[in-house]
Chains A and B, each alone.
Chain A
Amino acid sequence: MAIWIEEDAKVLVQGITGKQGMFHADKMVEYGTNIVGGCTPGKGGQTVDLQGKAFPVWDSMFDAIKETDADATVIYVPPPFAAEAIMEAADAFDTIKGEGVVVCITEGIPTLDMVKAVAFVENRPGVRLIGPNCPGIITPGENGGAKIGIMPGHIHAKGRIGIVSKSGTLTYEAVAQTMSIGEGQSTCVGIGGDPVNGTGFIECLAAFQADEQTEAIVMIGEIGGNAEQEAAAWAAENVTKPIVGFVAGATAPPGKRMGHAGAIISGGKGTAEEKFAAFAAAGIACAKDPSELGAVLLESLKAAGLR
């Protein structure tokens, strides 16, 4: 087991005929992801060549899911159309299967579009949205696995550490840190750096807590909002597995957007200091430097009798 995405999950790619979509679809197939085709309105009936094999393209997500019985979709659609792509996928999964995972990689979607799209997805309780503005989700397997997103597959290995993070490359850093102490990952989820997104920290922590394969959790936050504080308080009550944490942005000046749309300290709220304090209060072992995540994780595993 892993969370939400099994190693052999059937995956569709929305925007598969675009430059980004095709590039990453190819990388996913190379990694071993079970890509079953894609969707680009107006390009139905065509095929796309990935790793020397032809993959079908549909005009609509309804057709694509009916034909393939897909479990998940990943969206590489430009910002003006991405929120609608999320809703199309959610509607199709809900109508046809009653469930499905929608992963949106796109950065730069208008916030009010996301307010609408998130409400639309939440009305379809069987559908899970991950992202947007995220690296995606990966469940490493024995040979390959399910890589749904843009992360470099080769740095991962199957294991027992669950990782959840708002950031892309910082997640890769966390993955490398687990590998440095000889630990692999159950599932790594990038929840994204936008102010309004789908799946949050708490849902990830709950899923990792319930997952048999996961024995410890790494949680990476950043400045802005209070999702980390809420997750820490929730974890103190509900998570028995060891959690190791880091928060980026301790040196960020207030009122400035630090790359991610959601990474901003506004009205003195959402600072790294606040979040580290909430982590510490919840018994989460904190690294002050991401290069120390491995060492802190190792200590936590030892303390829990897992090493």
Chain B
Amino acid sequence: MNIHEYQGKALLKANGVPVLEGVHCTSVDQALAAYDHLGSKVVAVKSQIHAGGRGKGTLYHPVTREHVMDGGVKIAFSKEDVDTYANNILGNLLVTIQTGDEGKVVNNLYIEAGCDIAHEYYLAILVDRENKSVLIMASTEGGMDIEHVAETTPEKIHKISVDPNAGLLGYQKRDLGLALGLTGAAHKAFVKSLTSMYTMFVANDCSMLEINPLVRTSDEQIIALDAKVSFDENAEFRHKAWDDLRDLSEEEDVEIRAKETGLSYVKLDGNIGCLVNGAGLAMATMDVIKLYGGEPANFLDVGGGANEEQVKTAFSIILEDPNVKGILVNIFGGIMRCDIIARGVIAATEALSLEVPLVVRLAGTNVDEGKAILAASTLNIHPADDLAEGAQKIVNLIGGGN
């Protein structure tokens, strides 16, 4: 789960990490009032969306797609600038390298006071899958694309692996500060901030905390100038506060509804809907559709113990996508019995008066009963014995791919 920069900064501030004063706004009037309130001649006007590359992004009109402005993060030198930038950003579409061509509508702004930057650093805390531990990454090359730094000058990225039994140790923090070339008051401030960030990371079940840039000011302060924070959704049960931080406009409405019914759904661009049990098999089903010339319209895992109602919900979610020209159901029954799935498929197709071709592949527990139920139905359901046959059939039935 991702949160906005302004929310991440509030969290950093609450944990004792220095950030600049800023105001969250949702209208131009609020932005102008924020400028007066901050009393800083120079302010940053920052688009708030859940995607990186905002500074280098481009704003477009949401309907006409007319070009509005280059850059989703602007430096304003006057109240007039704030007025112009806020007008150009709010309600418009921001396209960045991470949003894809469709971009994201900007509903939130962050107006932040300026500061005198001496140097920009990079700092991130994340879970390292390979070492099965928390990893801290830092670099003197802040404010840039860190993947580019990692490729071209890997020696400029310093890493600390945190021993889960010992936690983040004092010498590790001091050494990292020295590796960044920090001395004196700035080194001390860095160690203090890093301590706070690590504590915040663990206490909030973060999966990622990225500060790019973390800056040293001309008076040797260390300040988090950006904040990208994401949480581990598995830990949601122990963080009631996340409800208030969640921006539903950033998530696909249909993906939220799927999640509420215990389904895992991701919309894709193709035209063959898939309904599968198990995440690995659901991915493989998409892959095989593509292999035989089709394009999957979605990823959908109904889970291990889906009932008739969930199968019906799954069908209705798939059919909400107007691109769907056919559906492939692929079930390998383990806990889930094929006869129950077969009944669910029939009930769903009847209730939703399904008009697109439907191919059903069943295997595993009670497969013969399941197949018999489908065969006895008067509905136009095409059976398949294995995944390859199922994929080929549905691709042929809709007359090829996209």
Contact = CB atoms under 8 A, between A and B. Distances in A.
Interface of A: 24, 79-80, 108-116, 118-119, 123, 135, 150-152, 154-155, 165-173, 176, 193, 195-196, 220, 222-227, 230, 246, 248-253, 255-263, 267-268, 272, 288-292
Contacts of A79: 234, 237
Contacts of B118: none
B379 interface: no
A251 B268 contact: yes
B388 interface: yes
B130 A248 contact: no
A251 B133 contact: no
Nearest to B146: A267
Contacts of A260: 279-280
A224 B164 CA distance: 23
Interface in B255-278: 264, 266, 268, 276-278
A117 to B, nearest CB: 9
Given A112-B235, A114-B132, 9 more contacts: A115-B127, A115-B133, A150-B335, A168-B279, A172-B363, A252-B283, A258-B266, A263-B280, A290-B281
Nearest to B331: A169
Interface string B183-202: 00000000000000000001
Interface in B274-318: 276-284, 286-291, 296, 299, 301, 304
B165 interface: yes
Contacts of B276: 169
22 contacts: A80-B237, A110-B232, A110-B238, A112-B205, A119-B165, A150-B334, A150-B335, A152-B333, A152-B365, A168-B281, A168-B334, A172-B363, A196-B127, A222-B279, A222-B280, A223-B283, A227-B130, A251-B289, A251-B290, A252-B283, A262-B129, A291-B388
Contact of A263 (B232, B237, B268, B279): B279
B165 A289 contact: no
B215 interface: no
Given A154-B365, A251-B290, A291-B387, A119 B132 contact: yes
A289 B332 CA distance: 15
B164 A119 contact: yes
A222 B283 contact: yes
A79 B365 CA distance: 27
A166 B279 CA distance: 10
B264 A259 contact: yes
A170 B278 contact: yes
Interface in B109-165: 127, 129-130, 132-134, 147, 163-165
B168 to A, nearest CB: 13
B58 to A, nearest CB: 20
Nearest to B277: A169
Given A152-B364, A222-B283, A259-B282, A196 B164 contact: no
Nearest to B270: A251
Closest 4 pairs between A and B when the two form their complex, measured CB to CB: A167-B280, A259-B279, A169-B278, A170-B280
B98 interface: yes
B311 to A, nearest CB: 15
A251 B286 CA distance: 6
A111 B299 contact: no
B234 A109 contact: yes
A272 B283 CA distance: 11
Nearest to A24: B335
B386 interface: yes
A262 B134 CA distance: 15
B304 A252 contact: no
B283 A169 contact: no
